[in-house]
Amino acid sequence: MKEIGYYIGVVGCAVVLLFGIASIIYGVLQPAEFKQWGTYYGIWGIGCAIFGFMGLRMTKRKAKSYKVAGNLLLLIFGIGSAITMISMFIGPALMIISAIIGFKYS
């Protein structure tokens, strides 16, 4: 069950990353008034995905403190990406579910 939580987190981070890249591309194609917001949301999404991947990597360590810190990192950036509603809440929900499963089994 622990590995399922890890792979759910990988999928969630990948979805947030892809939607962040798409948001940057979409933001660049918009008129000048809306260009910066799409770019900001895209950068925020990519940052949350990268830190989410870092948290997932930390959960693979043997020490319990790394697992707890990695799950906390995943949870914080899952909630952070949910605030901007990047990826229509699918990716952040998967990241949060993965962190909860990780906390349960760490």
Cα–Cα distance measured from residue 13 to residue 87, given in angstroms and rounded to the nearest whole number: 10
**pTM of the predicted protein model:** 0.91
Q: How many CA atoms lie within 13 A of 20 on its CB side?
A: 22
Q: Which amino acid is at 90?
A: I
Structural domain range at position 50: 2-105
Q: Does the CA dihedral 39-44-47-53 come out positive or negative?
A: negative
Q: Which helix (H) or strand (E) holds 32?
A: helix 32-59
Domain count, the chain: 1
The string of pLDDT tens digits covering residues 43-88 is 999 999 999 999 999 999 989 999 999 999 999 999 999 988 888 8
Tokens representing 70 are 């990695």
